[in-house]
Structure 1
């Protein structure tokens, strides 16, 4: 199964992605995790990404598309995958469609976790305290939310028009949300 998980930062995508991936026995591919690993290892990409994320921006489509294309070519993604944090723009949707078409594949379902903005802000501020994430200040969180609504949320409409979108309430206990997701995906 080839899945995408959408939702604002702090909606619980990462938490649910690992559960979904385990359920379907596919890798969860998080562009955020890839970027953070590069930051931690102080790679050239990591230095570029750190500056962008600290200001609340998104990494360019060109860089992100190349990272995702490389990751989808790896053996563990041959039976399927769950993309978390990609695509975020309509240009990335087009790039992903092209990547998959080269191997005769397409996206099976797009899961959107629906969570109110204020719930997300509260979650991310708490996460920042617990995990010591310097990029999770309230100002940066609100900028990310505005960017999400402007650039990423339109993807919901595009995937809905294709008949691929499945919306799930992302508020509640982790296990409860996970059950909703599996029920909504139908297996």
Structure 2
């Protein structure tokens, strides 16, 4: 597992130097998490909330499957085909999608929070092989979050869950059982509300609304088969037999500073607060979001001069009063196009802000690349204008070899004029052939008509 000591050592940077601080951030590894715990302990709930607040990519089997189907990727089309046939999606396919998501550009920038891996199913890989796969990830988890809960408490909590069939919402026992709700009210009055004489009207209204809503749907709630007590106990037993030993070895290898163990009997908000306090005390940085500075509803900026354009963009979507976005060294040049070797002015409709500065992208494709991971396009020595070299000489003089050597040395791209114009030559030849055929047919038709007219005369 990754630890701070294994991270690449960076030279001393002056945190008060803006350029050095930005460079240090761009070179830093994003913070990555993996959430562990028994089935039903609240791993997904905690991971989803942490990903939302910490600006990380939430990676979980169901989320990854839905994302691939929604975006109609190659994996998504395979999943749709299997589902249409009434077949289940194989563990191999799910694992491949998860690993691809971990290696995606957005995970390389924002970091990720992984939940549900290793999996109890050993259809594709054993638990030990899954853990070994996690250890060998290019982007290794920095923090292990382990949710601990006793078997009895966990099984009782799982067996007390009820689901609303229409909405799919799952309710805990303390949300739907009138006896438990009444008992909680009495306990809160005895312990936490003795000094409070009155409850605010707003809180009373919220409690009344929740009670009314629950009374309306209480008779509709059902218990899922996996929430039956005997099934919950079986799942927990499988976890202890198959996975627990391997996970204990994994946590034993982890630096204790980066191992966060939580009490699973606490509420999700309390668990989240404990993690946030721990991360903030260690100075862990959350993900840096990229913000679109103009939406389709806002005024069009076309035609504005350079200074006027940036003056207008700097006031869009401010994060605080009087805080304006600043101009970057790229100016109006597109960072993505410049990295790819072209100097292209960006479209004001595709302006974004990142780390307090403005960047203008040239095409929707460039905008998508930049929004997923801006780091490759902003790292030094960028921004620099591309260097273009023309190599010419007589045939068989070694032009192609020289070009390939230069491109390999300086990470450039070889443009072979013969290959570039070959396509246009073939198109031109096809057009000429088509034109000759058309002219020949017209002449033949005309000759036949003239002959027929002469014979009639």
Alignment correspondent of 2:115: 84
Q: Which has the higher contact order (CA 8 A, sep 6+)?
A: 1
Say if 1:179 and 1:9 are closer, same or farther in 2 by CA, change over 3 A.
Answer: same
Question: TM-score scaled by structure 2?
Answer: 0.34
RMSD: 2.8
CA distance in 1: counterparts of 2:97 and 2:225, whole angstroms: 24
Which is further off, 16-25 or 123-132? 123-132
Tell me if the contact between 1:171 and 1:177 (Cα under 8 Å) persists in the aligned partners. Answer: no
CA distance in 1: counterparts of 2:160 and 2:80, whole angstroms: 26
Report deviation, 1:7.
Answer: 0.6
Question: TM-score scaled by structure 1?
Answer: 0.75
1:124 aligned onto 2:158: yes
Report deviation, 1:137.
Answer: 2.7
Report Cα offsets for 1:110-133 as digits up to 9, x if no partner. Answer: 100111112221222233445454
1:171 aligned onto 2:211: no
CA distance in 2: counterparts of 1:8 and 1:47, whole angstroms: 27
Question: Equivalent of 2:149, from 90, 100, 115?
Answer: 115
CA distance in 2: counterparts of 1:176 and 1:82, whole angstroms: 18
Gaps of at least 5 residues in structure 1 are 50-58
Q: What's the secondary structure of 2:35's corresponding residue?
A: strand
Q: Find the structure with the greater CA-based Rg.
A: 2
CA distance in 1: counterparts of 2:65 and 2:235, whole angstroms: 16
- Mapping of residues 26-65 of structure 1, within 5 Å: 26-34=56-64, 44=82, 47-48=87-88, 60=91, 62-65=92-95
Which is further off, 106-115 or 130-139? 130-139
1:95 aligned onto 2:126: no
Gaps of at least 5 residues in structure 2 are 1-30, 70-78, 120-126, 165-169, 171-221, 285-457
- Mapping of residues 11-26 of structure 1, within 5 Å: 11-26=41-56
Point out the structure with the larger helix share. Answer: 1
Alignment correspondent of 2:394: none
Q: What's the secondary structure of 1:110's corresponding residue?
A: strand
